[in-house]
């Protein structure tokens, strides 16, 4: 059975955070994923994200903290932010965090990339001790010029250098992949052992995954057949109020 995770950075945005969690559960989601809300006590956050048996599928590191990993002088600050995030992930019983990429200037690209890989190497033992997997993903360069990583290949190159499947995995965002490289079914099948989380959105408008270029019924069936046991992260920009646009999900529940 397909289980869905609501990206609360995008879904139910018309509601306060705790109410987003409640709305997610009441509309058929099994889990939630999010960037930690500012100024919300951890106890309240834990209560909200566990509402009705919800699970926390993924916590996304804030962009400003992820960006620290691309600067060698800021490595200690990045690792301190990671430690704090791992503590919160442990409290929320979350076993995956996403460290985002960054827009890089061409003249400082090599130095920034080397700093990023070095910071991730240093992060690996911390993640393993916490029982948490660090996920990497990409954004398409059409919408975000200069962003790194910008393709599956660039993510795989990083993972190959890190060479640690226990500490790292791939968050496969079907929207960004379709916008730039296509071949979704081939990638999902060939990289099944590396893909720890999947996100979906309609292409090309980043809306509900019920119209557009991608046949998600086929892809979700493919994932089920392949033995994928993670959540399907619904990470899109609703056309209207989130609840009004969730008819597409009912046939999978």
Instruction: Please write the tens of the pLDDT for every residue from 101-160.
Output: 999 999 999 999 999 999 999 999 999 999 999 999 999 999 999 999 999 999 999 999
Q: State residue 186 phi and psi, 5-degree precision.
A: -65, -40
- For the chain, where are the alpha helices, taking DSSP H only? 17-26, 42-49, 63-68, 75-91, 109-130, 152-162, 174-180, 184-190, 216-226
pLDDT in tens, 156-203: 999 999 999 999 999 999 999 999 999 999 999 999 999 999 999 999
Q: What average pLDDT is seen over the chain?
A: 97
Q: Is 216 exposed, middle or buried (0-12, 13-18, 19+ CB in 10 A)?
A: buried
- The residue ranges of every structural domain in the chain are 4-252
Instruction: For the chain, give percent helix, strand, coil, nearest 5.
Output: 45, 15, 35
Structure tokens given for 121: 């190497």
**pTM for this model (two decimals):** 0.97
Question: What pLDDT was estimated at residue 39?
Answer: 86
* Mean pLDDT along residues 46-69: 98
Q: Which one, of 204, 201, 203, 214, lies nearest residue 242 by Cα?
A: 201
Please determine, looking at this structure, whether the domain spanning 4-252 carries the CATH number 3.20.20.150: yes
Q: What is the pLDDT of residue 253?
A: 87
For helices 109-130 and 75-91, what crossing angle results, to 10°?
Answer: 30
């Amino acid at each position: 059975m397909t289980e869905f995770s609501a990206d609360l950075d995008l879904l139910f945005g018309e509601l306060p955070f705790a109410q987003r969690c409640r709305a997610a559960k009441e509309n058929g989601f099994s889990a939630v994923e999010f960037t930690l809300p500012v100024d919300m006590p951890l106890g309240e956050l834990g209560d909200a994200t566990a509402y009705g048996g919800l699970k926390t599928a993924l916590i996304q590191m804030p962009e400003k903290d992820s960006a620290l990993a691309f600067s060698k002088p800021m490595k200690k600050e990045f690792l301190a932010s990671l430690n704090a995030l791992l503590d919160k992930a442990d409290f929320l019983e979350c076993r995956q965090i996403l460290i985002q990429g960054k827009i890089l200037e061409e003249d400082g690209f090599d130095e920034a990339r080397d700093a990023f890989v070095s910071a991730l190497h240093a992060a690996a033992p911390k993640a393993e001790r916490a029982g948490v997997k660090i996920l990497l993903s990409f954004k398409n360069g059409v919408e975000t010029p200069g962003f790194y990583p910008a393709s599956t290949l660039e993510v795989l190159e990083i993972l190959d250098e890190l060479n640690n499947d226990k500490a790292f995995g791939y968050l496969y965002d079907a929207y960004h992949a379709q916008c730039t490289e296509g071949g979704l079914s081939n990638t999902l099948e060939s990289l099944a052992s590396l893909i720890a989380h999947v996100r979906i959105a309609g292409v090309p408008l980043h809306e509900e995954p019920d119209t557009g270029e991608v046949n998600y019924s086929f892809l979700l069936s493919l994932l089920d057949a392949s033995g994928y046991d993670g959540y399907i992260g619904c990470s899109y920009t609703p056309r209207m109020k989130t609840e009004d646009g969730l008819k597409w999900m009912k046939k999978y529940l």
